[in-house]
Amino acid sequence: MKKTPRISETEWEVMKVIWAQAPCTAGEIIELLTRADPTWHPKTVKAFLNRLVKKRVLGFRKEGRAYLYRPLVRESECVAAASESFLARVFGGSLKPMLAHFVERRRLSATEVKELRELLEKREAGSRDPSKQR
């Protein structure tokens, strides 16, 4: 199984733009990032693009004078890797204490509680069905 590269918090910001807009040029990425946060500098964005290419998170092709960037890793893969890393680092890999932590400390609406209950019930039903076992 291929290991998903770790990306920093700032690299996530760049990747969110690319996942949403790919393929896109550096200019388009810079425009979208600076529209959301004017403190982004074009050279900084380009440095992050180079770093993400080196990490093999991004690929590119030259089109005229521009480079078109595209993700080499799906967002869902990065979310899964970051989630697993967080769970292991902060909660020793145990899901129950993490869920308890967030449920006890965050205010949940009745709709959110209902949705969580439905997710757990669906998961429980799936674990009882031998055809849905891994």
The answer to whether residues 32 and 64 belong to one domain is yes
Task: For residue 4, tell me if it sits in a domain.
Answer: no
Neighbour count for residue 17 (Cβ, 10 Å): 20
Domain that holds residue 101: 94-134
Task: For residue 130, tell me if it sits in a domain.
Answer: yes
How sure is the predictor about 132, in pLDDT bands with cuts at 50, 70 and 90?
low
The answer to whether residues 19 and 60 belong to one domain is yes
pLDDT tens profile 104-114: 898 889 999 99
- For residue 91, what are its two tokens? 């909660």
Q: Taking residues 74-92, what's their average pLDDT?
A: 92
Q: Are 47 and 53 in contact (CB under 8 A)?
A: no
| pLDDT of 99 above 50 | yes
The answer to whether residues 47 and 13 belong to one domain is yes
Angle between helices 26-36 and 42-54 (to 10 degrees): 120
Task: For residue 117, tell me if it sits in a domain.
Answer: yes
Q: Taking residues 120-133, what's their average pLDDT?
A: 75
Residue 20 belongs to domain with CATH number: 1.10.10.10
Q: Is the pTM of this model over 0.75?
A: yes
Cα 36 from Cα 21, distance rounded (Å): 15
**Average pLDDT value for the chain:** 91
Q: Are 50 and 42 in contact (CB under 8 A)?
A: no
